[in-house]
Amino acid sequence: MNWYLLKSGPGAAAFNMALDDALLGAVSELGQPVLRFYGWTEPAATFGNLQKISAVESTTALRPLIRRPTGGGVVPHDADWTYSFTVPPDHEWHLLAATESYHRMHAWIQSAFARLTVATEIAPCCLKPVIPNQNPRIPGACFVGHEKFDLLWRGKKVAGSAQRRNKCGLLIQGSVQPPLPINRNDWETAMLEAARNAFGAFWQEMPSCEALQTQTATLLREKYSQDSYNRKR
């Protein structure tokens, strides 16, 4: 099973969201899953595609604040490790229910941490803490409390993700808050080895794709860098 690996390095918040969105649009043509590791050129925060900007602006002081192509809550990107995983529509991951792909993604990360001798657990249920002065009906900070199947370390959430599944494929965007001072390159290597063992993934460096670059630039210019998009609801 050939899978592509894309290490795109640090990028601006709007660019990072544009590239993940472009990968979702391109993955059917690429024909195989793409795992992307990336970082941030400055502290930022992202929030779920369906969230109201008025509900999330007060939950973080981090700026820029960019709407994601996936769902979920507000995610701070000031010290996390971020990745995306995109699969084509004919891949078996695309056929999974959302809860199943969510669980599988975090079990993958759990296996990677285990290779680094860091013991984590999959949350068996959700934990919604009471946050003073916050409307409980408004999705808040993603790493406050946890959802079922989030990844925990000593009861604290250390990995969460959000998804978008359509006819183009499946996009999972994830954030990892490393629980210990672990080398990020070691963790990325462990992720590749865990996927090779669990899914039979044979990793290939993703080739340069002009169409993907063009679409990323278009989405960046016309969508993710636009205040009208990020404040659309």
Residues involved in catalysis = 142
The predicted structure's pLDDT at residue 145: 63
* DSSP code at position 199: H
> pTM for the whole thing?
0.92
- Supply the CATH classification number for the domain 2-133+142-230: 3.30.930.10
One digit per residue, the tens of pLDDT, for the chain of length 233 reads 899 999 999 999 999 999 999 999 999 999 999 999 999 999 999 999 999 999 999 999 999 999 999 999 999 999 999 999 999 999 999 999 999 999 999 999 999 999 999 999 999 866 555 445 544 444 445 545 668 999 999 999 999 999 999 999 999 999 999 999 999 999 999 999 999 999 999 999 999 999 999 999 999 999 999 999 999 99
The predicted structure's pLDDT at residue 143: 47
Identify the three-state secondary structure at position 146. strand
**Order of all β-strands in the sheet with 81-87:** 121-122, 151-153, 156-166, 169-176, 81-87, 34-40, 2-11, 202-205
> What is d(CA 81, CA 79) in angstroms, rounded to the nearest whole number?
7
The predicted structure's pLDDT at residue 142: 52
Q: Where are the domains of the chain?
A: 2-133+142-230
User: Helix 184-199 to helix 98-115 angle, to the nearest 10 degrees?
Assistant: 120
β-bridge partners, 169: 166
